[in-house]
Amino acid sequence: MVSVRIRKSKIDGIIRCPSSKSYTHRAIAIASLTEKQSVIRNPLISRDTLATVAASNAFGVNTNYENSRLHVEGKHSFDAPHNVINAENSGTTIRIFAAISALVKKGFTILTGDASLRRRPMQPILDALAQLEVECYSARMNGTAPLLIRGGGIKGGTVILDGTISSQFLSSLLISSVYAKSPVLIMIKGQQVSKPYIMSTLATMKAFGVEIDYKLDFLEYYIRNKEYRATKFDVPTDFSTGALILSAGILAGGSLTLRDLNFSLPQGDSKILDIFDEMGAKVKVDKQRGEINVTGSNILEGGNFDLKDTPDLLPVVSILALKSRSTVRISGIAHARLKETDRVANIASQITKFGATVKEQNDQLLITAPKVLKNASIETFNDHRLFMAFSIASLLTKSSTVSGAESSKVSYPNFLQDLKALGADIELS
């Protein structure tokens, strides 16, 4: 793994954060299910989203990217792919295309991914598809990839779906059940996590002409047979990566302005603005101009933060805790252990290297900042969000090293270049 050395730096400037990975995935998948050409404007081009493009291509969907636009020529009728679909590191890709694989006319689709993805849970989507009379298997019979999905269509009926692990299983069913042979009723068992991502799925489906009935508690959904319409879809800028860049401005600013933000589509990680406010950060939001400005804060407030619906904010809040005058309690994060890595355990093990005191429990972290941050040699377990978060935290130290630079290609390929352009002292170590 490639490591970087990061020295104490001050962050200043104006920057546009990348487009949303979540919306890019959803737009590509749904555009693949239309009969005519859709145009996805300003998609995120990263390792994860390219895996979704490749999955679409495997089903015979034609895609072409030029001038910041992805042209997608979808189709209703799929043949089984000629080869295994490799979702790389993308949980969204493999889970969404598991259900799409059921729509092929006949034959099996095999979906797999890298070593990290092959450890992540897939049983809920297999159980759900089986209830819709889709023949599907975990190749190793342990609820993980590789997955084998037999085509022939989704019959329809009632599904009881576990909502406690990930919202991606539900998003997968919502997107593909539109083409089920009869209506589908999805009932959520347990507490549904990451509800804002479900809102993103529903918003993208609506943009392509399909609305469904659902209860406001996000525990029941009724999908009738409908048809997606090809459209032009503008991918909003991403609050997930935007939250990281804004945290750099708060921890190591200066003055930093994030521009070209889109507040019109739901993004759960916009919750970071409420967290900034509660922690006493200096933030100005101009929704009309699509801008957020932050200035450096010498000290932040502690507090209690429930991230049940926004698990990708866990790395961000964890590094903000390094400047907090009192303990930061982060709860509702048990499902973050099932991301690309066990983010709860890995954050706990690494943030202590900066001198923080950390208490780890199954569903929460308690982080108390040190009086002075220590230089550290940080392991990121090839997890893109941990690499970005710990790189930003290292800006507060005299000199630290952070491993896993290549992992940022998953969601923010230009992360290091953008951070350097804002004034960060970074070099390959």
Chain-centroid distance, C-alpha 132: 27
The mean of the pLDDT values for the chain is 96
Instruction: Note the pLDDT of residue 20.
Output: 95
> In the prediction, which pLDDT does 159 show?
97
Name the pLDDT band for 23 (thresholds 50, 70, 90).
Answer: very high
pLDDT confidence of residue 76: 80
Q: Report residue 122's pLDDT band, with 50, 70 and 90 as the boundaries.
A: very high
For the residues of 196-237, what is the DSSP string, one character each? HHHHHHHHHHHHTT---EE-TTSSEEEE--------EEEPPB
pLDDT in tens, 170-197: 999 999 999 999 999 999 999 899 999 9
pLDDT at 1: 79
Helices (H), 312-374: 314-320, 343-351
Task: Verify whether residue 312 is a known catalytic residue.
Answer: yes
Kindly indicate the confidence band of residue 19, based on its pLDDT and cuts at 50, 70 and 90. very high
What are the pLDDT digits (tens) for 282-291?
999 999 999 9
Percent of the chain clearing pLDDT 90 (strictly above): 94
Answer yes or no: is pLDDT of 394 > 90: yes
pLDDT score recorded for residue 300: 97
One-letter amino acid of 375: N
pTM of this structure: 0.93
pLDDT given at position 257 = 97
Q: Please, are residues 44 and 53 in contact by the beta-carbon 8 Å criterion?
A: no
Instruction: Tell whether the model's pLDDT for residue 319 goes beyond 90.
Output: yes
Q: Is the predicted pLDDT of residue 204 greater than 90, yes or no?
A: yes
Confidence at residue 77, expressed as pLDDT on a 0 to 100 scale: 85
Question: Does position 37 have pLDDT exceeding 90, yes or no?
Answer: yes
Binning pLDDT at 50, 70 and 90, where does residue 429 land? confident
Inter-helix orientation angle 123-131/91-101, to 10°: 20
pLDDT digits (tens, 9 = 90+) for 260-309: 998 888 899 999 999 999 999 999 999 999 999 999 999 999 999 999 99
Cα distance between residue 405 and residue 388, in whole Å: 8
Question: Is 256 a residue whose pLDDT tops 90?
Answer: yes
Of 162, 309, 312, 418, the catalytic one is 312
- Helix extents (H) in 321-428: 343-351, 384-394, 415-421
Distance CA 111, CA 97 (A): 8
**70-115 residue pLDDT tens:** 999 999 889 999 999 999 999 999 999 999 999 999 999 999 999 9
Q: Give mean pLDDT, residues 338-365.
A: 96
| Percentage of the chain lying above the pLDDT 70 cut | 100
pLDDT of residue 17: 87
Joined tokens for residue 125: 């989507």
**Mean pLDDT (whole number) for 135-163:** 97
What are the structural domains of the chain? Answer: 3-18+237-428 (3.65.10.10), 21-234 (3.65.10.10)
